[in-house]
Amino acid sequence: QMQVKESGGGSVQAGGSLRLSCTTSRLDDDDAYIIGWFRQAPGKEREGVACIYTGDDRTFYANSVSGRFMISGDYAKSSLYLQMDNLKPEDTATYYCAARKGWYVGGCLDQIAMSYWGEGTLVTISS
């Protein structure tokens, strides 16, 4: 079992920045994991935002956030981060951190890939 917990959500104006953090219970061992950020806006499906494969630090981004968001990790601290810049009102959503041991051939932005989920943190962007 793996615990995942998000923090860092809040409210900012459009154009601002936020940094989300995700702490996990087991990221500093010898196994490789996919850690991803997903979001769900009111009335919409949950979508993949960004993910990282700890085995080789490959990162992947949704087109809607590419160039504005950056995912990074401090594996010794079992922590992942999502730096979000130039935020837009359409980025408003509950953001979830999720994890999976090992790679998933369908890609890490697919929520089906993930085994462990946090409870989410709310991000609100005002215009």
Reported as a single tens digit per residue, the pLDDT across 39-95 is 999 999 999 999 999 999 999 999 999 999 999 999 888 899 999 999 999 999 999
Average pLDDT, integer, range 18-42: 90
pLDDT of residue 27 exceeding 70, the answer is no
- Distance in angstroms (rounded) separating the CA atoms of residues 75 and 87: 26
pLDDT at residue 2 in the model: 87
For residues 59-90, b (16+ Cβ closer than 10 Å) or e, as one string?
ebbbeebeeebbbebeeeebbbbbebeebeee
The SS3 assignment for 39 reads strand
